[in-house]
Chains A and B, each alone.
Chain A
Amino acid sequence: MRFTLSWLKEHLETSATLDEISEKLTNIGLLVDKIKNLGEVLTPFTICEIIEAKKHPNADRLQVCQVQTGEELIQVVCGAKNARKGLKAVLARPGQIIPSTQQVLKVGKVRDVESYGMMCSGEELLLEETSEGIIEVDSKAPVGQSYAQWLGLDDPLIEIEVTPNRGDCLGIHGVARDLAASGIGKLKPLKTEKVPGTFPCPLPLSVDLEACPHFTGRVIQGVKNGPSPKWLQEKLRSIGLRPISALVDITNFFIYDRCRPLHVFDADKIKGKLMVRTSKEGETFKALDGKTYTLSEDMTVITDDSGIISLAGIMGGESTACDDTTKNVFLEAAFFDPIRTSITGRVLNIFSDSRHRFERWVDPLSTLPGLEAATKMILDLCGGTASKIVEEGTPPFEEIEVPFLSPHLESLGGLYVDSLEVEKIFTALGFKLLEADNGYGLIPPSWRSDIAQEADLIEEVLRMVGYNKIPSVPYGERPEKKPLDSRQERRFAIRDCLAGQGLIETITWSFMSEREASLFGGIPETLLLNNPISQELNGMRPSLLPNLLKAALQNQNRAHETITLFEVGPQYFNTTPDGQDLVAAGLRAGFFEKSWCEMKRPVDIYDAKADAFALFDLIHLCPQVDPKGPNWYHPGRSATLKFGPQVMGYFGELHPRVLKAFDLKGPVVAFEIFIDRLPFLKKKTTAKPKLELSPYQPVDRDFAFVVGASVSAESLIKAVFKADTSLLYSLTIFDVFEMEHEKKSIALRVRFQSKDRTLTEKEIQAISDKIISSVAKEVGGVLRQ
């Protein structure tokens, strides 16, 4: 919503400054977006008159003009075709800044002829978007005066944001009323002058009250349409509206002045009977914006015998539009239902000042006064005689009484306000006050659709007094509970843990493309968006990995050799509230970088396993490792991590098919852990078991076993433990390599230690023999020679 300071002052008697008004607007909930003063920029540009215009001696398209500035005669070279003798134009003098280019104008020679100024186009002064030629000023304009001043542009333009519940402030009168109630001035009453009709309205009319509960109108005969007077044009221009013709300008004036949309039809173009009804599926309508709309069922329309001539409350039609030849006009004022207007506007995608207001509530009692006021202005500006008013239906408004208990102002609003002040505010806002015990019964005015209960009334008082007057009270008793439960808290620990592993946290979209998801189990139809922002983001992700892989690719393209990323976020498997899993997923692509003195090596699944196991270390539990993960992993280089039957996650190398689909350079290893499934140890003991240290010397023995290629390290270790564990202190794998004939060698270092004696060579030999025979028996391994 925008208006000028002077227009506001037509409705508000105030001595407040622009700054005070601006601050007040924001404080009462009408946030000032910006204040523009185009006049200030344009003040130096003055009206001049071209006394003589001759062809430039050296250029066909230029003219050399002698221009009267009001003080002197100067020479100006001009390239505009419309520059001619006798024309009044807008002059810029050397030293002035041209608004459109921000360049300082200089005295210059144009093809050897000196030019002491420039005559400006509307475009150059930012008054029009594009211009052809220089501005042609009215011949009555005084030479030498500031053009902006003469146009009435030296008036600050105030733009406010009006919340959807405050349709009444989409008219300047409503804004003035709010300001007056805040104590910054006095609201000037609207003039309500009735224009008696001198003849019956000649147009037959029928109104379906379902489609429109209250419809009024009248014919005005013998009008003379044409450009509206300068004051009206200036007014509209000052708020950025283009003057069209007197009749149209008058309706635009009332929309902004008092939030009263109206419509004018050229009565001579209406064929037969005027009807207000609901539309039928497929009816078409050519609107004033030149576009043809195909309507669906149940939109409110105004028709004549030829079809639809207006989309009620939204936009008029081309076929009955008023123009300079209009002699007889039908003026319409009605109440159109907010919801119907909103649906129609949205379905047809038409925006208009009228729709904007009707869908936010137009005062239902303003219909007849609006019609009268507009009639008066038409008669004043265009002449003619008005018919009697036709009226169908009644204003859809009933008074309601909302109880208001004064103490609630303090108990809910946190502010004590004196009852006199409260009464003053409500009265100024147009409420009727009924005395009641401990408070009032308040009847909201017809222009307020947003007052239904006490909380609404409390807000009215608070915003008029100012939220800044509410004293802040320190909040919050000292907490009894931690803000996070152990599961929520663990998620942060998981992030820290993965970052500690050297992974970098990212956050990616919850959605992804259905096509790419097919490699990750796909997206069920129920999880595809009806209205995705793009086909690349059209479904809810079944896994975090695809988005991480895309991120990895982007970074590979930026020449990163080593990529380490992780995300903690949701993935989706159905639409129920429990249909999402919280997952920590990470990937490493390219190389595992240590430092300058160690060879860098490609990442492998043991890096991903280390990342995944770091999370299990957090919960002090070790999962089962079952070979093979889901099919987006390499079948021979992946695993599923489990506790009993329950899957906790996966790790492995990405399947070559996936890498190819994502255009990624391998190797890429990844892990996914369902972190909210991870259990908690039942007994949380802070005490640790007693540390028992042996004073006796440990002994190390190395064993290199040759086993079949498919024998897992885990089964070999199990075989060792099966032999004898009483003296076994620790066991590490220190070398693995493949051999010929489907064999491999696994080298172990076993440390033996006794708690009560130094082990003898004989004893150690005996245990070693047991280990060797157990390995032979369990996994068919033999000592490498």
Chain B
Amino acid sequence: MNRVEQIKRTFLKELEEVDTLQGLEDLRVRAFGKKGELTLLMKELGQKTPEERRTWGAELNALKDVLTTALEARKEILEEGCLKDQLASESLDVTLPPHARPRGKIHPLSHVLDQAIHIFGQMGFVVAEGPDIEEDFYNFTALNIPREHPARQEQDTFYLPSSNGQPLVLRTHTSPVQIRTMQKNPPPIRIIAPGRAYRSDYDATHAPMFHQIEGLVVDKHTHMGHLKGCLEEFCRLFFENPSLKLRFRPGYFPFTEPSAEVDISWKGESWLEILGCGMVHPNVLRNCDIDPTTYQGFAFGMGLDRIAMLKYGIEDLRLFFDSDLRWLNHYGFAPEARE
């Protein structure tokens, strides 16, 4: 066996045994390094006869190719193994909590308000606003509720010290916004007025502060059929039940005539009262200098808190205002990306 063959055998055998990248590098240097066996043989080639150079040269080149390929192949295997080891040592517990930013919540009443505005917005209503502290005139008198009216006594009104002889109240409903809107804008009018309202009452279904959403339409042709259509659409969309049944029955409000109470069919078992409405009372229009023989329209009012309680199965109104983080986290909504 010649030297070339011997080198090849030894090298390939050792190559098989080498199991670290460092060992592999050492082996490479032993063959191809400055003093490597193959390098030395190549140097010897110069001293050979041309005949020998040809045959030897070819042999040596072939050896070089074999060794290089074998080295590369071995290197690949060793590197693969190394990476595996590295990955194995780097594994993490994927069940630990993520690096989440703490997320906040939107109060269910804000969410419900948003939904209500969206639905009424689709019907062409725009939002109007008014102050929480109202003159007696806007809260009662202009709404056709005279001083000694029984309806006035049924509302437990919060009073503030009178200002210039005018009694001041915390509005007992958002209806004063109707009056302010009609005084400022000529018909046609189509508004909703959401906001805080106040009555001196405190139990599971009454809070001294609650939220109302009021609606008002004044034009020349809107009648009770439209009122029914509008509220049916609202309730069905809001409660996400296209076949929700509504019951309109006669009711009494000083500021509407005819007046109606609206019940919704609840789980097919009973009727639940959810809102009051009616055609705007001619006296109310007159109080705002609108001619009731030309203009007419409807008004409605409902408790936002109440419809939120129904929709989300919340049983105690007081909890809306209790700031209990556990409750807020449970009943609150993730902030949505808004346009």
Interface of A toward B, CB cutoff 8 Å? 26-29, 31, 163-166, 338-339, 342-343, 346, 359-360, 410-415, 453-456, 458-459, 462-463, 467-468, 470-485, 488, 492-493, 495-511, 525-533, 537, 540, 547-548, 550-551, 554-555, 558, 560, 563-566, 568-570, 572, 575-580, 593-597
Contacts of A410 in B (CB 8 A): 223
Alpha-carbon distance A413/B230, docked complex (angstroms): 15
Contact at B257–A455, with CB atoms within 8 Å? Answer: yes
Neighbour of B282 across the interface among A338, A455, A459, A473, CB < 8 A: A455
Q: Enumerate 27 A-B pairs (CB-CB under 8 Å) in ascending A order.
A: A164-B149, A413-B279, A414-B225, A467-B249, A475-B222, A475-B226, A476-B125, A476-B230, A477-B124, A481-B126, A484-B121, A495-B106, A496-B336, A502-B103, A504-B328, A504-B332, A507-B107, A510-B170, A537-B208, A540-B160, A555-B323, A555-B325, A565-B325, A568-B110, A570-B132, A572-B133, A597-B99
In the complex, what residues of B have CB within 8 A of residue A558's CB? 324-326
Contact between A473 and B126 (Cβ–Cβ < 8 Å)? Answer: no
Q: Which chain A residues border B226 with CB–CB below 8 Å? A: 414, 473, 475
Minimum CB–CB distance for B250 against chain A, Å? 3
Q: A505-B328, A593-B102 are in contact. Are A462 and B163 (CB under 8 A)?
A: no
Decide if A508 touches B323 in the complex (CB within 8 Å). Answer: yes
A511–B159 Cα gap in the complex (Å)? Answer: 13
B325 with A563: CB separation less than 8 A? yes
Assuming the contacts A470-B224, A475-B123, A579-B133, asked whether A508 and B321 have C-beta atoms less than 8 A apart, the reply is yes
Q: Chain B, 94-122, contact with A by CB distance < 8 Å: what is the 0/1 string?
A: 00111111111111011000100110111
* Closest chain B residue, CB of each to CB of A479: B124
Inter-chain contacts of A594 with B (CB < 8 A): 99
Sample of 10 more A-B contacts, CB < 8 Å, known A164-B154, A458-B257: A359-B150, A415-B224, A415-B225, A475-B226, A475-B227, A499-B103, A505-B104, A505-B110, A526-B161, A527-B160
* Interface set, chain B 306-332, CB cutoff 8 A to A: 320-326, 328-329, 332
Q: Are B127 and A488 in contact (CB under 8 A)?
A: yes
Inside 8 A of B320's CB, which chain A residues have their CB? 507
Residue of A nearest to B262 (CB): A467
Stretch at the interface among B29-37, B80-88, B192-200: B192-200
5 closest residue pairs by CB, A with B:
A476-B123, A29-B250, A414-B225, A483-B121, A551-B323
Confirm or deny: B186 has a beta carbon within 8 angstroms of a beta carbon on chain A. Answer: no
Most chain A beta-carbon contacts within 10 A, residue among B105, B110, B150, B282: B150
Question: A563 to chain B: which residues have CB within 8 Å?
Answer: 325
For residue B158, which residues in chain A have a CB less than 8 angstroms away from its CB?
529-533
Is B334's CB within 8 Å of the partner chain A?
yes
A455 and B225 form a contact (CB under 8 A): no
Q: How far is the CA of A166 from the CA of B132 in the complex (A)?
A: 32
For chain B residues 214-262, which have a beta carbon within 8 Å of chain A? Answer: 221-230, 232-233, 247-252, 257-261
Roughly how many angstroms separate A292 CA and B49 CA in the complex, as a whole number? 146
Does B3 make an interface contact (CB < 8 A)? no
Q: For residue B213, give the distance in angstroms from its CB to the closest CB of chain A.
A: 12
> Known: A500-B104, A596-B96. Is A165-B200 also a contact (CB below 8 A)?
no
Contact of A462 among B99, B250, B329 (CB under 8 A): B250
Look across to chain B and name the residue whose beta carbon is closest to the beta carbon of A548: B323
Assess whether A459 is in contact with B250, with CB atoms less than 8 Å apart. Answer: yes
Q: Which residues of A contact B249 (CB under 8 A)?
A: 26-27, 29, 31, 467
In the complex, A565→B324 CA distance in Å? Answer: 10
Chain A residue with the shortest CB-CB distance to B198: A510
Q: How far is the CB of B153 from chain A (nearest CB, A)?
A: 6
CB-CB < 8 A to A482: which residues of B? 121, 126
Whether B325 pairs with A510 at a CB distance below 8 angstroms is no
For residue B201, give the distance in angstroms from its CB to the closest CB of chain A: 8
* B296 in contact (CB, < 8 A): yes
Interchain CB contact under 8 A, A507 and B153 = no
* C-alpha gap A554/B161 in the complex (Å): 32
B250 lies within 8 A of A484 (CB): no
Complex Cα distance, B252 from A164, in Å, reads 8
Chain B at the A interface: mostly helix, strand, loop or mixed? mixed
Q: Are A471 and B104 in touch, CB under 8 angstroms?
A: no
Known: A495-B335, A554-B324. A510 touches B260 (CB 8 A): no
Q: Is B148 close to A, CB under 8 A?
A: yes
Chain A residues, CB < 8 A from B100: 595
* Contact status B248-A468, CB under 8 Å: yes
Which residue in chain A gives the minimum CB-CB distance to B156?
A531
Chain A residue with minimal CB distance to B200?
Answer: A533
Q: Which of A26, A359, A455 contacts B279 (CB 8 A)?
A: A455
* Any A CB within 8 A of the CB of B43: no
The complex places the Cα of A495 from the Cα of B258 at a distance, in Å, of 39
Contact A496-B250, Cβ < 8 Å, known A506-B328, A554-B323:
no
A residues near B110, Cβ cutoff 8 Å: 492, 495, 505, 507, 568
| B209 lies within 8 A of chain A by Cβ | yes
Decide: B257 and A456 in contact? CB cutoff 8 A. Answer: yes
What is the bound-complex CA distance between A501 and B258, given in angstroms? 49
Closest to A454 in B: B282
Does B131 belong to the interface (CB within 8 Å)? Answer: yes
Q: Taking the complex as formed, is B13 at the interface, i.e. its CB lies under 8 A from any CB of chain A?
A: no
- The answer to whether A411 and B97 have CB atoms under 8 Å apart is no
- Among residues of A, the one whose C-beta sits closest to the C-beta of B102 is A502
B225 lies within 8 A of A531 (CB): no
- Is A467 touching B124 in the complex (CB atoms < 8 A)? no
- Interface status of B143 (Cβ within 8 A of chain A): no
Give the most central of B149, B296, B335: most A CB within 10 Å. B335
Contact of A360 among B150, B324, B325 (CB under 8 A): B150
Chain B contacts for A506, CB-based, 8 A? 107, 323, 328
Q: Please, which residue of chain B has its CB at the minimum distance from the CB of A467?
A: B248
> Any chain A CB within 8 A of the CB of B187?
no
Q: Chain A residues with Cβ under 8 A from B173's Cβ? A: none
**B130 in the interface, Cβ–Cβ < 8 Å?**
yes
A492 vs B127: C-alpha distance in the bound complex, in angstroms?
13
